[in-house]
Structure 1
Amino acid sequence: MRTICFYFQVHQPFRIKPYRFFDIGEDHHYWDDYSNRSIMRKVAQKCYIPMNNLLLEMIHKYNGAFKVSFSISGTCLDQLEAYAPEVLESFQRLVATGHVELLNETDGHALCSLKSKNEFHNMVKSHQEKIKRLFHGYQPKVFRNTELIYSDNIGEMVAELGYDGILTEGAKHVLGWKSPNYVYQNSKNPNLKVLLKNFQLSDDIAFRFGNRTWADYPLTTDKFVNWINAIPQEEEVLNLFMDYETFGEHQWAETGIFEFMRSLPDAVFKHTNFNFSTPTEILKGARTVGKISVPTPISWADEERDLTAWLGNDLQDEAFAKLYELEDQVNAIDDAEIQRDWKYLQTSDHFYYMCTKFFSDGDIHSYFSPYETPYEAFINYMNVLSDFILRLKEKTAALPKAKKKKI
C-alpha cells in the first residue's frame, strides 16, 4: 500500500482585547469579541466554506477514494458555534460522508502536555466530549497534540488514553538518515503508532505555493506528482500535514491554490501508484518499521522544529510558569466563567505572540500576531492574568475550609 494522508489543522484562538493596568480588578471580560467574530467570518468566507465545498465535491466525484482528516481545536469549535454555524454544519456534512476522519487534541489548543499530566487529561477529555456532542457521537482514534508537539513521554501519555496513533513532525534532527514516509512506534509504548509529516512536500503547498521568488514557482500538479513519484518505492506513506487556513487565507484564491487541490487527486490516481487514506486506515494497513526516539519535544514550527516559538525567552517562560501555578486553585473552583477563561488563557497563540525571533522566522511570527511587539503581547497577557488571579483569590476565599486545605 502506497498512500497519501492529508491532515488539516483548523484553529482560531480567542484573542485578548487591549487590557490595561487600570482594567485590573475592574473588567473581568478579557476577550476581543469584535476581532474574534470578524476574523472568523473573514476566514469562513475565504477558506472554510469554499474549501469544505470543494472537498465535499471531490469526495463525491471519486466515490470516496479521496479522503482527508481534520483536527478542529476546541476554541475554533466554540467560535464556529457562536459566529459561523453554517461552517460547522459544512464540517458535519463532510464527516457524515464516512471519508473524513476527525482527530482529538487538547480542547484549548494548549501547551499543557509540557507542564501538567492532569490538565492534559482534562483538556483531552473535554475535546472528546465536544467532538462527540457536535458530530453525532463521533469518537476519534488518533491524536494530534497542539502544534504537533511530541516527545516519548507525551506519546506515552497519549497511549494511556487509549489512542491508536499520534501525528507529529518529521524533524530532521530526530530522523537523521531515516525517512518520514513510514509508520513508526512510540519508544516507550509500541502500541502507539507515530505518523510523521513530510515537511518538504507539505510546506511546498502550505508556505511556498504562492511565492513568486521560489525556484520551483509555479507549483503545478504535474510537478508535484513528479516529486511524489521520486519517493522510493519501499516508502509507503506520504503525510501532508498543514494548517487548513492555507487554502484561501495564507495562500489566497488568486494564487490558484483551490484549482491545484481540485486537480491533484486526478493526477495522483492517473500518474502514480498512490491512493488516499485517513490516519486510522494507515495504522490498520501499513507496516511499522520500528521505534522512533524523541527524548526532547519537537513541533512543526519554525526552522528548529522545537518549542522556541512558544517557550524559551524570559517573557514566555514567566507567563507560562505563572499561568500553571494557578492550576490547583482553578480545579478547586466550580465556576463556568473561571473554567472557560482558564481554558482560553492556555491557548498556545498567546505565547507565540511573545516570541522574540527576528531573523529566519520573524516575518511569520509578525504575520500571525495582533500586537506591535512581543513585549506588548506579554504586558497585555500579564495584565489579564493579574485580574484572573484576583478573581481566583476571591472565589477561593469563599470555599469551605476542607477545599482550601487541598490547594
Structure 2
Amino acid sequence: MEQVTTVLERVATAESIDVERGALALIARHATGSFRDALGTLEQLVVYAGGRTIEAVDVLAVLGVADAEQLFEAVDAIIARDPARALRAAASLTDSGRDAGQLLRDLEVHGRELLAVQILGDVPPELQVTPERDIRLTEQATALSATDAVRLLDLVSAALEATANGAQARIQLELVLIKAAAPEVDPSMAALLARIERLEQGGGGGGGGLRAAQRPEPEKAAPPVATAAADPEPAREGQAIRGPKPSQDVEEAATAPLELETAAACWPAVVDLVRGENAMLAALLSDARPVSVRNQELTLAFPGGAAFFKAKAEQEDHRRVAGEALQAVTGQRLVLRYELREDENEPDGETVLSGEELVRRFVEEFDAEEVLEDEPEEGEVKG
C-alpha cells in the first residue's frame, strides 16, 4: 500500500492536485494493490472535487464506502452490549444510501483492522490513514475483546454468504450487529463462549443480556452503612460477600448454580466439544439428556435400553473428558452421574426386551421376514 500511496503522491505533485495524505492512503487501501485502480479513482476525485482540496470524505463518497465514524459507532454498540444502539447504527449505515452488501464488506474490513491492531499491538503502516483515525482505531481495538472481534468476522462472513444465496443484505447487516452486541440471541457455540467470557470478566459491558451481568444494586446500597437496617436482607448479604474483596464478584458469577434449563441448552455444545477428542464418546453422549442438577452433580439420563452406553460413559477416562468439556462450555465443574430413564411418552417400568419382543419389533419397523430354522420343509418349498 505504501508503494501505491507514493505513486499517487508523485502524480498529485506533478499534476498540481491538492489532496490530503489521508485521502491518498484511503485510495491506496481500497485499490488493493492495483496502481491502475488507484489512479482511476484519483482522476474521478479530481472531477468530483472541482478544484478544491480532496479530502477523505470525498474518497468515501466516490467509492461508496461507509463513513468511518459510522463503522466506529456500530462497533461501539457491540462493545457496549447494546442491541438497540446496534440496530440504530445499522439504520444509520443503510440510510446513508450506500449498498447494504458493500456495507457488510466495509464492516468486514473494519473488523479485520481491529483484529490486526489487537494482535500487533499497534496500527500497521498499511492501515494508517490519519493520526486521529489511527488513535481511534487503537482505542476501539483495546476496548473490543478478541473473542468478539473474531465472532464479528464470522458473523459477517456468514451474512455475505447468505446474501450471495439471495438473502436481503440490509436484514443480514442488522442481524450481524444485533448478534454481535447480544450473544444471548445467537445460539452458536462461539456466542456461548462469548457469554462465558463476559461472566469471567464480571459481566462488563452495556446492554441487558445475562442476568449475572445485571447486579449493580448491592454496590449502590454499600455507601450508607449506617442505614443498613433499611435495606432488604438479600442486599446486605450481597454486600457482606463483596465487601472484603472486589474480585469476588467475578468468582460469584462464575460459580452461580447451573440451572437445568441452561445445562440442557448447553449439552449439544458439550457433545460437540467432546467429538473433537473422542468421536465414539460423543456418539454415546448424544443419546443422553440432562435431567437434574443438584449439589454440584449433573444427572444425565440414557434411554432405558441403553445400559451398554451408560456403562461406557461411566468409564473413568470417558467421565473425565465429558466433565472437562462441560466445564469449558459452562464454566462449572460438576460431577457427572448417569442413569437409565424412560422417555415421558413411554410407560413406566423396565423395558428390557425379550428375544421374541426384539424380533417382533425388528420385523415391524423394518418390514422384514422372519425365517425359522426349524421349518426345513417350508424352506425347501420356498427354494
Rg (Cα) greater in structure:
2
TM-score by length of 1: 0.21
RCO comparison, higher one (Cα < 8 Å, 6+): 1
